[in-house]
Amino acid sequence: MSSDTVQQKTLVREIMSNSVISIDSSVTATDAAKMMEDSGVGAITVLENGSPVGIVTDRDFAIKITAHSYPIDTPIRRIMSSPLISIDPDSDLWTASDLMSTRNIRKLPVIDDDRIIGIITSSDLVKHFASL
């Protein structure tokens, strides 16, 4: 079986991480950063009324907080990337890698029934393809 065939048959749910932290959009940037550090994650999904609406990555902190001199008590909704670009857990890895490449994103939340069930990162894809 060629690596292209394996890539198309492997589903997002098979390599995604289930370790996803979500916060309400009103949480401050400081509290979100502390949660990220305490959990050892590079991204947090943002919810409004329980529904996923955005994502905040370590890069968002570097660019938006630092470069724009936002105060550290800024609500996370102000620095989140939105609308949320996500993928279905039953999508294949080719679809995920194409979406990440065309949208220039490195972290892609996995959503099933309007619930975040995981996240797939560019590092996850690289590790998977390197093992083929």
Per-residue confidence (pLDDT) for residue 29, from 0 to 100: 94
Question: Within 10 Å of residue 80's Cβ, how many Cβ atoms?
Answer: 23
| pLDDT average, residue stretch 89-108 | 96
Per-residue confidence (pLDDT) for residue 19, from 0 to 100: 86
Class of domain 3-130: alpha beta
CA dihedral 65, 71, 76, 77 (to 10 degrees): -90
Statement: residue 6 has pLDDT above 60: no
Q: Which residue has the tokens 């394996």?
A: 6
pLDDT band, very low/low/confident/very high, at 55 (cuts 50, 70, 90)? very high
Contact (CB, 8 A) for 45 and 54? yes
Q: Which residue has the tokens 């069930």?
A: 117
Beta bridge partners of 125: none
Strands, E assignment, 14-106: 22-24, 43-48, 51-57
Contact (CB, 8 A) for 25 and 47? yes
Statement: residue 98 has pLDDT above 80: yes
Its pTM stands at: 0.86
User: Would you say the C-alpha torsion 132, 5, 118, 77 has a positive or negative sign?
Assistant: positive
Q: Over the stretch 101-120, which tens digit does the pLDDT of each residue have?
A: 999 999 999 999 989 999 99
